[in-house]
């Protein structure tokens, strides 16, 4: 994990159809966010449009998930990226625990890589 904090590492993916033209969408992030980072991320969700209310993006492991119609996804991704960046900035500005948090993120990133390697190895079973 780098000093840059959490970042989006891939494009949005539709993972479930919720109803006609509405999907559960996820975007992968670079590590499993800490509880502090999640709190900061939720605090950043203030400049939202009516169709993208606060707390509508759920942090789930190394993914951010939200419901959306097909047409809105492209507009929502830059908003999510902005929230990620602001949460990273806020976390970096917090004094005291940043080194411990960095180490924890690195440990979590290594664990996620290990899990991904196992899942890849098992994918053909």
Quote the Cα angle for 65-25-87, to 5°.
Answer: 35
Residues 60-115 pLDDT 10s:
999 999 999 999 999 999 999 999 999 998 888 875 566 777 788 888 889 889 98
- The tally of CA atoms less than 13 A away on the side-chain side of residue 100 is 6
For tokens 């959306």, the residue is: 68
Quote the Cα angle for 84-88-90, to 5°.
Answer: 115
Cβ-count burial 23-35 (b if 16+ within 10 Å, e if not): bebbbebbbbbbe
Strands (E), 4-89: 13-19, 22-28, 58-60, 63-69
Q: 52: which 2 tokens?
A: 């993208």
Q: Where are the domains of the chain?
A: 13-122
Residues 40-56 pLDDT 10s:
998 888 766 666 776 78
Res 2: pLDDT: 41
Q: What is the pTM of this model?
A: 0.71
């Amino acid at each position: 994990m780098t000093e840059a904090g959490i970042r989006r590492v891939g494009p949005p993916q539709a993972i479930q159809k919720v109803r006609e033209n509405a999907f559960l969408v996820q975007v992968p992030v670079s590590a499993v966010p800490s509880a502090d980072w999640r709190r900061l991320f939720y605090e950043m969700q203030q400049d939202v449009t009516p169709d993208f209310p606060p707390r509508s993006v759920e942090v789930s492991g190394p993914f951010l998930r939200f419901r959306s119609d097909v047409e809105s996804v492209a507009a929502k991704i830059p908003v999510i990226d902005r929230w990620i960046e602001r949460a990273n900035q806020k976390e970096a500005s917090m004094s005291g625990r940043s080194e411990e948090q960095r180490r924890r993120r690195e440990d979590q990133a290594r664990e996620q890589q290990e899990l991904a390697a196992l899942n890849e190895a098992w994918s053909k079973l």
